[in-house]
Each structure stands twice: as C-alpha cells, then as structure tokens.
C-alpha cells in the first residue's frame, strides 16, 4: 500500500506557469524545526526573548517554531517595506510593525530565507539602533553560495543550493506559500 506521505514526496507541483519538484518534505521540516527549538530553549533559558517574525514569508516557520519553544517569551510580527533611493540603485528596507520596546532585550529574528544577506544587514542595523541586549537570527532556509557579506546566523533549519524555491511560506509571485513542503524550480 502506498502511504500518503510517500505519495506527496513523489509529486511535482505547478505554481502559476512554473513546475517545481520536492526539495524538503514536511517530515524533514518538522524534525529540523524541533532541533532548532531545542537549541533555542537551551541557549536562551532565563532570557525572556522577543521573537520578531518577518512577514510575509516566515509565517509558517514562526508558527511551527513557536509551538516548540518552552521558555517564557513573546512574539511580534514585522514587515519590511521597500523604497527606491540609494546610490547603489537597490532597494532599502524599512521596518514596520515593531511597537515593542527592545532595549535591553534578547531579540530573535525569525526569517524565512537568507540569501544575499542585504535585507538581514538592513534589519540588524535598524534593530541595533534600539539598543537590544543581543540579536540572534533564526532562519528557515540559508543559501550560503548567494551570501554576499559576513553574517552570523545562529539557528539554520536548512542550507540549500542557490535555487528558486516555493512552499512553507515562500512564494512565486504571491502563490505557493500554502504548501507544507518546500519545492525547487524545475522549469
């Protein structure tokens, strides 16, 4: 008999006009998040951390991670909004939604994916100006070959190739966030 989890692992998905194949199963994801949560529970015991989940992409990771966090903590959600303007010709990010005071607190950024690291550096700069005791980074996915700067990631669920992925909160043109697995682009 073919079990449902095996069936799900064999299929490809179509998101809009692109085909994607399975990269990470829901079982792999749950196991890795459990591992990260255990480490956070140990590392941050007695620190009452504030988790900052970066929307939109991290919503599934943040929800599943928080289910396994057993230490006293808080969570809030922030969004990064882009605007044009720097001499590099790139986009700068501004943090919206952070109304909590973070001075003297341990802050854990909960991110869906770190690739170039530019967005994370901008977020770290913005948060550092608010005088937290420390900032840690928990990311669901990390693309080490795409990283363009020095960045310390404290908790990484998965290192993946520099491929385009969808699922588990990550999207293609707004679609595909709802999958419980992560899929990589085929064509």
Per-residue pLDDT at 154? 98
The CA-CA-CA angle for residues 99, 142, 117, to 5°, reads 60
Per-residue pLDDT at 89? 37
Per-residue pLDDT at 92? 54
Per-residue pLDDT at 132? 97
Per residue of the chain (187 residues), give pLDDT as tens.
334 444 445 589 999 999 999 999 999 999 999 999 999 999 999 999 999 999 999 999 999 999 999 999 999 999 886 544 333 335 556 678 888 899 999 999 999 999 999 889 989 998 999 999 999 999 999 999 999 988 999 999 999 999 999 999 999 999 999 999 999 999 8
Task: Mention every residue, 6+ apart, whose C-beta is less than 8 A from residue 61.
Answer: 33, 53, 110, 112, 140, 157, 168, 169
Per-residue pLDDT at 51? 98
Q: What are the structure tokens assigned to 18, written together?
A: 């692109």
Q: Give the strand order in the sheet containing 165-166.
A: 12-15, 18-24, 182-185, 165-166
Per-residue pLDDT at 85? 35
For the whole prediction, is pTM greater than 0.85?
A: yes
Quick check: 88 and 127 in contact, CB under 8 A? Answer: no
First to last CA, the chain: 31
Quick check: 179 and 161 in contact, CB under 8 A? Answer: no
Catalytic residues, by residue number, are: 115
Residue 4: φ, ψ to 5°: -60, -40
């Amino acid at each position: 008999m073919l079990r449902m989890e095996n069936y799900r692992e064999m299929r490809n998905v179509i998101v809009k006009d692109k085909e994607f194949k399975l990269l990470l199963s829901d079982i792999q994801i749950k196991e890795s998040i459990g591992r990260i949560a255990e480490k956070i529970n140990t590392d941050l015991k007695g620190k009452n951390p504030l988790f900052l989940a970066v929307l939109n992409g991290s919503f599934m990771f943040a929800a599943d991670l928080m289910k396994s966090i057993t230490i006293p903590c808080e969570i809030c959600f922030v969004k990064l909004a882009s605007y044009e303007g720097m001499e590099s010709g790139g986009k700068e990010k501004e943090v919206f939604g952070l109304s909590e005071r973070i001075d003297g607190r341990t802050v854990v950024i909960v991110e869906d994916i770190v690739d170039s690291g530019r967005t994370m550096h901008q977020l770290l700069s913005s948060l550092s100006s608010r005088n937290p005791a420390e900032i840690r980074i928990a990311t669901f996915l990390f693309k080490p070959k795409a990283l363009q700067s020095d960045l310390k990631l404290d908790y990484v669920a998965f290192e993946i190739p520099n491929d385009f992925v969808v699922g588990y909160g990550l999207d293609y043109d707004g679609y595909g966030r709802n999958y419980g697995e992560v899929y990589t682009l085929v064509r």
